């Protein structure tokens, strides 16, 4: 029996060659489509974070220096006539916190801004229901300063007790809009530099349904923990702290030695464990 012989410069390959090649190509095409679909499905969703670069927004509210620089902005009243507030943490330009800019503005005005109603202009960042603002000295951000507010006007705080929470420490400036991605190991080096520059660290906690909650992180007496958390940024951690609700943020007053590295497996366990009481949110 004669065997088919094929030379590459021939116009057509013999039938005995064409049939297995067609089968191989069909299998390869199907496999390529399956691999492409798997890769697409395993990719993280594109971040919905926003940074209004180049656009300045005027914000009026009560300035609070602690636990982190923020504006308490009056929102709508509820059905009982109680006014609600949005707390907007303030950030500086670049990889810097807002403390230095605020101190310069206070020296310029010759008065403390803490507890006073002020009007600022800054660049908004927002994601996942949280709003932050960047202020830059080059924009001359302080527009007006009013008298100090009465105590009953200031934001009421609620003690939620002590608890242990598992999550990831992120740099809120990049996470809430400036960088994509703004979390995890790909962003770790940048996040460490931002936090060391004075941007307040935030603990991101994802519950069993995939919804995320965010917590400002400070020391047991409200002191900054920027240097202390640098080795934990972008990694799973368990954080033991006293939780205080302040507007639409929960602030974690971390106990001494209250931050511990954990495994990714431990991070997948239920994200919130209370020690003394269950936080009602």
Per-residue pLDDT, 69: 94
Give yes or no for a contact between 259 and 239, defined as CB atoms under 8 angstroms apart: yes
* Tens digit of each residue's pLDDT (9 = 90 or more) over 94-149: 889 999 999 999 999 999 999 899 999 999 998 888 899 999 999 999 999 987 66
Higher pLDDT: 215 or 35? It is: 215
pTM comes to 0.74
pLDDT band at residue 279 under the 50/70/90 scheme: very low
Question: Is residue 231 pLDDT above 50, yes or no?
Answer: yes
Question: Is residue 265 pLDDT above 70, yes or no?
Answer: yes
* Tens digit of each residue's pLDDT (9 = 90 or more) over 204-219: 998 877 788 899 999 9
**Residue keyed to tokens 């709003």:** 131
Question: Is residue 44 pLDDT above 70, yes or no?
Answer: no
Per-residue pLDDT, 26: 84
**Residue keyed to tokens 């936090």:** 195
Question: Is residue 64 pLDDT above 80, yes or no?
Answer: yes
Give yes or no for a contact between 164 and 257, defined as CB atoms under 8 angstroms apart: no
Give yes or no for a contact between 117 and 62, defined as CB atoms under 8 angstroms apart: yes
CATH of domain 50-148: 2.40.50
Instruction: Give the C-alpha separation, 228 to 118, whole Å.
Output: 32
pLDDT band at residue 10 under the 50/70/90 scheme: low
> What distance lies between CA 36 and its chain's CA centroid?
30
Say yes or no: do domains 50-148 and 157-274 share a fold: yes
Q: Please give the radius of gyration of the chain, using alpha carbons only, rounded to the nearest integer.
A: 27
* Tens digit of each residue's pLDDT (9 = 90 or more) over 122-132: 999 988 888 99
Per-residue pLDDT, 258: 84
Per-residue pLDDT, 137: 92
Fold of 157-274: OB fold (Dihydrolipoamide Acetyltransferase, E2P) (2.40.50)
* Tens digit of each residue's pLDDT (9 = 90 or more) over 67-98: 899 998 877 666 666 667 788 999 999 889 99
Per-residue pLDDT, 269: 66
User: Can you give the residue ranges of every domain in the chain?
Assistant: 50-148, 157-274
> What distance lies between CA 221 and its chain's CA centroid?
23
242: number of Cβ within 10 Å: 18
- Number of H helices and number of E strands within the chain? 5, 13
Give yes or no for a contact between 181 and 191, defined as CB atoms under 8 angstroms apart: no
């Amino acid at each position: 029996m004669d065997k088919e012989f094929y030379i590459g410069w021939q116009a057509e390959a013999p039938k005995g060659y064409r049939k297995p090649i067609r089968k191989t190509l069909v299998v390869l095409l199907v496999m390529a489509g399956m691999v492409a679909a798997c890769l697409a499905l395993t990719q993280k969703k594109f971040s919905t974070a926003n940074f209004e670069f180049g656009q300045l927004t005027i914000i009026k509210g009560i300035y609070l220096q602690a636990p982190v620089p923020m504006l308490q902005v009056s929102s709508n009243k509820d059905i009982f006539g109680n006014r609600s507030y949005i707390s907007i943490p303030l950030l500086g330009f670049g990889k810097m916190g807002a403390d230095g800019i605020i101190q310069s503005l206070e020296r310029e005005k010759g008065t403390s801004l803490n507890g006073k109603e002020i009007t600022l202009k800054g660049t908004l960042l927002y994601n996942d229901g949280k709003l932050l603002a960047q202020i830059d000295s080059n924009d001359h951000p302080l527009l007006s300063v009013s008298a100090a507010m009465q105590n009953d006007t200031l934001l009421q705080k609620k003690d939620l007790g002590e608890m242990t929470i598992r999550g990831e420490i992120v740099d809120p400036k990049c996470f809430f809009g400036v960088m994509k991605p703004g979390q995890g190991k790909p962003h770790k080096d940048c996040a460490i530099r931002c936090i060391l520059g004075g941007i307040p660290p935030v603990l991101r906690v994802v519950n069993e349904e995939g919804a995320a909650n965010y917590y400002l992180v400070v020391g047991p007496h409200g002191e900054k923990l920027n240097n202390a958390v640098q080795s934990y940024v972008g990694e799973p951690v368990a954080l033991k702290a006293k939780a205080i609700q302040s507007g639409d943020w929960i602030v974690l007053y971390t106990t001494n030695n209250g931050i511990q590295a954990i495994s990714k497996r431990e991070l997948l366990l239920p994200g919130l464990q209370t020690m003394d009481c269950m936080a009602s949110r």
